[in-house]
Each structure stands twice: as C-alpha cells, then as structure tokens.
Amino acid sequence: MSTAGQVIRCKAAVAWEAGKPLSIEEVEVAPPQKQEVRIKILFTSLCHTDVYYWECKGYTPLFPRILGHEASGIVESVGEGVTDLQPGDHVLPIFTGECKKCRHCLSEETNNMCDLLRINCDRGVMLADGKTRFSINGKPIYHFVGTSTFSQYTVVHEGQVAKINPTAPLDKVCPISCGICTGFGATVNVAKPRKGQTVAIFGLGAVGLAAEGARVCGASRIIAVDLNPRRFEEAKKFGITEFVNPKDYNKPVQEVIVEMTGGGVDRSVECTGSVQAMISAFECVHDGWGVCVLVGVPKIDDAFKTHPLNLLSERTLKGAFYGNYKPVSDIPNFVNKYMNKELGIDMDKFITHSLPFADINKAFDYMLQGIGLRCLIHLDA
C-alpha cells in the first residue's frame, strides 16, 4: 500500500540536548515537498561529525535534532519537480549536494562546493519552505546537514541523493556516503602521491584509513600518526607500513617524521580535525615538492599557524572536501568501481561493529572510547 503523500510515523533517535543519550521516539515524517525525496533508511553509521555536533563543543546548540549523515536506503516517494529519482531507487544520502546550476557546480576548477547545497551544520530546516519535515505531537524536530539519517524515514533535497547500482549491498556501501570517499578521495584526487613516494596519514579513524588510497597509488612507505596505540595493529590491513605515536617522543612529531624520512614525506593527509595535527602534517612534508592535504574539521575558533618560510620553501598546503567528488555525478560511478573491484579497497574492513537501532548509543560509546572504525546501525532491527 502506497504511503506517498501521507505522513509516515516511524522510529527515530532524537537528540534532545547536548551530550545526552539519544532517545528512540516515534516521529511523524511529512511528505517530500518540491525538489525533495523521502527515503527509507536501512543502514546508517556514526561519524565524528555527528559526535561533534551532539556534544556542541564550540558550536551553536540546535535541539531537538535528528543527527546522522552516513547512510544507505531506498526512495519511498518523491516531491514535485523530481525527475531523476523514483520510488524504489537505491540511494546514498549525502551531507553536501550538487544543484548542477550554480557557478561552483558548473566550474571546471572545483568539484563539490555547491552554492545552494554545500554542507550547512547550523541549518535545521528544509530549503523549500524553511520548515522541518520531522515532528513529535506537532513539535518540530530539526534536521542535520540535510540528511538526518538516524530515522527510519527521512526527507532530503534531491541534489543530496546519489542513485546507485541496485545490486550494490546497501550495508557495505553505506560508509561511501561520507568516510570512505572523504579519505580515499583526499589521497587519490588531491594529494596524488606518485608510485614510490612516502606518505604520512594523521589519524587512524575510518577517514584516515580510507586514505589507503596511498597504497593504491603505489606509495612505498605509509607512516601513520595516531595517539591511540590500539589502532596500529588493525591499520596494517590498510597498507600502513610504519606507526608513530606523538606521546612516545619529547619533540614535535613533525621533527620525528622529517628525521625518519631524511627531509620529510612527499605527501601528508590530516584526518583528525586537531589544529596541532594540521600544523604537524604540513611541517612534516619535504621542502621543494611536499604536499599536505587537510581533511579533518577543526573547532570553530581554531587557527592554523606556521612560519611563512614553510610555504616559501615550496611546500604546498591544500584542503579537501568530500574527497573532491561531486555527490550526485561521481558517487554512482564510485559504487560501480567498488562493485567491479576497480578501487583496490575492501569495504568490509571498515565496518568493525554492527548494532540494532535500539542500541545506537553504544555506537557513540565506541567512538568516544576509540574502539573500532565504523559501527553499522540496522534501522530495521
């Protein structure tokens, strides 16, 4: 029986206030409006960005809210004007978008900085009418980055929905919607290490380990930097060849790496969001040709500080957003390459835990304790 055009009642994990456990509630999900799509979410996973905004450390609180942005599901219904998606399509909702009309989307100089649908963590309403599609007994529940995947049904702008191969396993490809593409693309598309070069990866979470794109590119040495020694053994599966824990040294870790490599690494990718790690990642690349790519999201008041001579010595500092992939145009092909075993990475390695929806708060515990990489949450369980 079709639910198109009707309010759907379903379970959602609602954040009522900062830092407090999410509460499984019955919410009403309104039908999609113009240029919107309603999606049945089957799988979602927790990303550090969800935790940052749940904790609200340095950010403007916006509650009650449904977090979540790394997910996979099936289109339930579409709103007015949606022509590229239809009920039954298998999709990945993406935290940033592609309108295909603005200067950024049409530019050959950038891939994914859409003027209309660029990630906005502070907006809790839909663009079409400035209202939420979630409510409980008439009380609005705010959205998060336009996706809010910690709900069995969600409403997303069509420009933030990637239609994928229907034969792709939705549990396996779930992390592609954020962590995998962010780390892999930052390495392959932005840092672009050459065969035989040396690469340093700062942070061994899912994004950092997705930077195993360095292995795919043929890097001869991949040096991992992380404060959690429990991650080191697991990281060997991702091509990491050496490990550095800054706690083991009484000098800046960039100096340690420069000494290890005889002048610095050829490429570095920073995936932690720590401004000190960003500085270290930049200052550990070789002068003359070294490239550092920043991926992690810093705190709102952080400032990057380094001596100008580090730039004048022909080191290059870059930023990467979502791996430089266009959400709607590029992600379907990324999934196809995964299905055809053309990427050279194994998605199974990234999903280290699996939980039913009712236990979603355990996923927060795992992440806060630095346990595992991605925890897959089954919304139909």
Asked if 8-177+350-378 and 182-321 have one fold, the answer is no
Residue 31: is its pLDDT beyond 80? yes
Q: Which of 3, 10, 102, 306 is catalytic?
A: 102
Q: Which of 114, 121, 174, 217 is catalytic?
A: 114
DSSP state of 64: S
Q: Which of 28, 36, 70, 158 is catalytic?
A: 70
Exposed/middle/buried for 171, CB within 10 Å: 0-12, 13-18, 19+?
Answer: middle
**What is the tens place of the pLDDT at every residue in 325-339?**
999 999 999 999 999
Q: Which of 38, 69, 215, 315 is catalytic?
A: 69
Residue 163 CB contacts under 8 Å (≥ 6 apart), including other chains: 84, 85, 89, 90, 91, 332
**Tokens 């899912």 appear where?**
206
Instruction: For residue 267, indicate whether it is catalytic.
Output: no
**What is the tens place of the pLDDT at every residue in 48-63?**
899 989 998 767 889 9
Instruction: For residue 102, indicate whether it is catalytic.
Output: yes
Instruction: For residue 9, indicate whether it is catalytic.
Output: no
Q: What is the mean pLDDT of residues 121-141?
A: 97
Instruction: For residue 374, indicate whether it is catalytic.
Output: yes
Instruction: For residue 49, indicate whether it is catalytic.
Output: yes
pLDDT of residue 58: 65
Q: Which of 28, 38, 44, 48 is catalytic?
A: 48
In whole angstroms, what is the distance from residue 21 CA to residue 364 CA?
Answer: 9
Nearest to 169 by CA among 77, 43, 84: 43
Instruction: For residue 307, indicate whether it is catalytic.
Output: no
Task: Tell which wins on pLDDT, 12 or 112.
Answer: 12
Tell me, yes or no, if the pTM score tops 0.75.
yes
Q: Which of 28, 47, 104, 154 is catalytic?
A: 47
Instruction: For residue 47, indicate whether it is catalytic.
Output: yes
DSSP H or E segment with residue 377: strand 374-378
Q: Which of 10, 110, 118, 123 is catalytic?
A: 118
Q: In which band, very low, low, confident or very high, does the pLDDT at 111 lie, cut at 50, 70 and 90?
A: confident
Instruction: For residue 104, indicate whether it is catalytic.
Output: no
**Cβ 186 vs Cβ 320: under 8 Å:** yes
Instruction: Report in angstroms the alpha-carbon separations of 315 from 26, 50, 362.
Output: 53, 33, 42
Q: Which of 99, 181, 284, 375 is catalytic?
A: 99
**Domain extents for the chain?**
8-177+350-378, 182-321
**What is the tens place of the pLDDT at every residue in 267-280?**
999 999 999 999 99
Residue 146: is its pLDDT beyond 70? yes
Instruction: For residue 48, indicate whether it is catalytic.
Output: yes
**What is the tens place of the pLDDT at every residue in 196-229?**
999 999 999 988 887 789 999 999 999 999 999 9
Residue 25 CB contacts under 8 Å (≥ 6 apart), including other chains: 11, 12, 13, 14, 136
Q: Return the CATH class of domain 8-177+350-378.
A: alpha beta
End-to-end CA distance of the chain: 22
| % of the chain at pLDDT higher than 90 | 87
| % of the chain at pLDDT higher than 70 | 99
Q: What is the mean pLDDT of residues 241-254?
A: 97
CATH entry 3.40.50.720 includes domain 182-321: yes
Q: Which of 105, 174, 284, 375 is catalytic?
A: 105
